């Protein structure tokens, strides 16, 4: 009986995102019709372009980056901590890692390791500031991480100047950190047939982080404490969880993963932190964590979907359709997913209560009046 129950709940769990995506397709179709485009054409163009091998590589690469970002956000979400600061954490971490990576020379695996560890530590440290403020001074992490994003921007802008930590990028008027030598680079993987383009080597790290995230949350005492705190702080306290320590630990972990967001780009393609290093990935992570319901596998699908939309939209400009249409689509997907999940959550609760009601149907017969009502239809 349990198996059937489980199959049912899997179907229900899948229903929410599928319905949400369908709903946003409808919304976007209406928008497209309103601006005079044929939605069917637009979608088929996106799918056609998005399934080309070269684009598939781009999608995987985007998804790798998004995945780190979304897991970082999800760790906070699991404890009701809103780490808006993933953005500042990964930029500062990537910058510091680029500086360290460009200034040392070590054998290949060690060089990469030092860069990654630097990124993780800097990301954790930057999140740690917000964690300590929240745990010991009661400062909302929402406010402090937003502030820290701005401070990170300022710090990087100050240090990334010629004469400080920046050098001119050859053949352009861009400036960036000293390039990381080949020993500190992570080679790509040519795993998609039909194209020369390579998938980031750190995509493997993303898979490992995803597994680690799932394992930590669902299989360890620490993860149980973390989830318990997220579900009910007062119950967690009575169960013996030290809330302050949990806040600090969760934020540090979130920041550590955030530190990895910039790594695929840094170690896989740009090899230096320059003025045009991608920004704003932390906010994308928030949307994808919501989409994936903080679930390791769900986030992977969310990241792939996001990567698909971002990259396949590039064709639209050529077709005369504004590619910003995809931003609307992403927005409606997130909104409708959040609503769909809430509806499903309520439905599930009612369903469970109904089942429990059946299981407890007899005991309501206990007590006065039971005798004379015996045999009455239930």
Partner 1 sequence: MTTTTPSVELSGITKRFPGVVANRDVNIKAQAGHVHAIVGENGAGKSTLMNILYGLLRPDEGTIHVDGREVSFASPSDAIAAGIGMVHQHFKLADNFTVLENVVLGAEPTRGGRLDFEAARQRITEISQRYGLEVETDALVEELGVGDRQRVEILKVLYRGARILILDEPTAVLVPQEVDELFDALRELKGEGLTVIFISHKLDEVLSVADEITVIRRGTTVTTVEDPRSVTARQLAELMVGSELPVPELRESTVQDRVMLTADGLTLTLPDGRTVLSDVTFSIRSGEILGIAGVEGNGQAELVEAVMGVRRPTSGTVHLGGEDVSHWSTRQRREAGLAYIPEDRTRSALLLEAPLWENRMLGHQTMAPNARGPLLNRGGARADTERIVREYDVRTPSIDVAASALSGGNQQKLIVGREMTGEPQVLVAAHPTRGVDVGAQAAIWEHIRNARAAGLAVLLISADLDELIGMSDRLTVIFRGQLVADFDPRQVTPQQLGSAMTGAGEAA
Please answer whether residues 18 and 338 qualify as being in contact, where contact means their C-beta atoms are separated by less than 8 angstroms: no
| Segment near partner 1 (CB under 8 A); pick from 29-37, 190-198, 214-222, 296-304 | 214-222
Under DSSP, is residue 70 helix (H, G, I), strand (E, B) or coil?
helix
Alpha carbons within 13 angstroms on the beta-carbon side of residue 146 total: 5
| 173 contacts partner 1 (rule: CB under 8 A) | no
Q: Count CB atoms within 10 A of the CB of residue 310.
A: 20
Binding-site member from 107, 221, 371, 374 for partner 1 (CB under 8 A): 221
- Any idea which residue has 């530590």 for tokens? 121
- Find the shortest distance in angstroms from Cβ 250 to partner 1: 16
Residue 51 or 373 with smaller CB distance to partner 1: 373
| Segment near partner 1 (CB under 8 A); pick from 119-127, 164-172, 221-229, 303-311 | 221-229
Residue 167 or 343 with smaller CB distance to partner 1: 343
| 138 contacts partner 1 (rule: CB under 8 A) | no
The string of DSSP letters for 154-174 reads HHHHHHSSBTTTEEEPTTSS-
280/85 Cα distance (integer angstroms): 10
Q: Which of residues 229-288 bind partner 1 (CB under 8 A)?
A: 231-232, 234-235, 237-242
Site string for partner 1, 317-356 (x = CB under 8 A): --------------------------------xx-xxxxx
Under DSSP, is residue 188 helix (H, G, I), strand (E, B) or coil?
coil
Residue 204 or 370 with smaller CB distance to partner 1: 370
Question: Smallest Cα–Cα separation from 68: which of 197, 189, 212?
Answer: 212
- Any idea which residue has 């927005």 for tokens? 331
| 375 contacts partner 1 (rule: CB under 8 A) | no
| 357 contacts partner 1 (rule: CB under 8 A) | yes
| Segment near partner 1 (CB under 8 A); pick from 113-121, 198-206, 227-235, 307-315 | 227-235
DSSP state of 78: T
Which is it for the CA torsion 98, 102, 104, 105, positive or negative?
positive
193/199 Cα distance (integer angstroms): 11
Binding-site member from 109, 369, 371, 375 for partner 1 (CB under 8 A): 369
Residue 113 or 350 with smaller CB distance to partner 1: 350
- Find the shortest distance in angstroms from Cβ 349 to partner 1: 6
Identify the burial level of 291 via C-beta atoms within 10 angstroms of its C-beta, where 0-12 means exposed, 13-18 middle and 19 or more buried: buried
375/378 Cα distance (integer angstroms): 8
Binding-site member from 366, 371, 374, 375 for partner 1 (CB under 8 A): 366
Residue 173 or 360 with smaller CB distance to partner 1: 360
333/7 Cα distance (integer angstroms): 25
| Segment near partner 1 (CB under 8 A); pick from 29-37, 273-281, 288-296, 357-365 | 357-365
> Which residue ranges make up the site for partner 1 (CB under 8 A)?
1-2, 5, 218-225, 227-228, 231-232, 234-235, 237-242, 349-350, 352-360, 363-364, 366-369, 373
């Amino acid at each position: 009986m349990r198996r059937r129950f489980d199959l049912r709940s899997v179907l229900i769990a899948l229903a929410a995102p599928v319905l949400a995506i369908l709903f946003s397709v409808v919304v976007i179709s209406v928008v497209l019709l309103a601006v005079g485009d044929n939605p069917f054409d637009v979608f088929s163009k996106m799918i056609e372009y998005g399934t080309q091998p070269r684009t598939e590589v781009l999608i995987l690469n985007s998804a790798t980056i998004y995945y780190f970002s979304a897991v970082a956000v999800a760790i906070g979400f699991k404890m009701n901590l809103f780490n808006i600061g993933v953005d500042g954490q990964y930029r500062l971490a990537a910058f510091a890692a680029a500086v360290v990576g460009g200034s040392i020379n070590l054998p290949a695996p060690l060089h990469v390791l030092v860069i990654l560890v630097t990124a993780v530590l800097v990301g954790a440290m930057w999140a740690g500031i917000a964690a300590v403020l929240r745990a010991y001074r009661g400062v909302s992490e929402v406010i402090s991480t937003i502030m820290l994003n701005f401070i990170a921007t300022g710090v990087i802008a100050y240090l990334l100047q010629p004469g400080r930590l920046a050098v001119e990028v050859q053949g352009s008027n861009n400036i960036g950190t000293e390039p990381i030598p080949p020993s500190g680079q992570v080679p790509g993987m040519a795993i998609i047939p039909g194209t020369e383009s390579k998938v980031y080597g750190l995509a493997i790290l993303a898979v490992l982080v995803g597994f680690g995230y799932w394992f930590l949350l669902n299989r360890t005492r620490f993860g149980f404490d973390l989830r318990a705190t997220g579900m009910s702080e007062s119950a967690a306290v009575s169960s013996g969880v030290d809330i302050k320590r949990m806040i600090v630990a969760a934020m540090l972990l979130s920041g550590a993963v955030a530190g990895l967001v910039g790594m695929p780009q840094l170690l896989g393609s740009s090899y230096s932190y320059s003025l045009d290093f991608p920004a704003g990935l932390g906010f994308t992570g928030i949307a994808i964590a919501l989409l994936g319901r903080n679930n390791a596998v769900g986030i992977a699908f969310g990241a792939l979907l996001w990567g698909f939309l971002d990259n396949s939209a590039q064709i639209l400009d050529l077709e005369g359709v504004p590619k910003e249409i995809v931003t609307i689509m992403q927005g409606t997907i997130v909104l409708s997913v959040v609503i769909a999940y809430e509806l499903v959550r309520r439905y599930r609760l009612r369903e469970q209560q109904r089942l429990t009601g059946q299981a407890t149907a007899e005991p309501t017969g206990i007590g006065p009046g039971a005798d004379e009502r015996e045999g009455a239809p239930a």
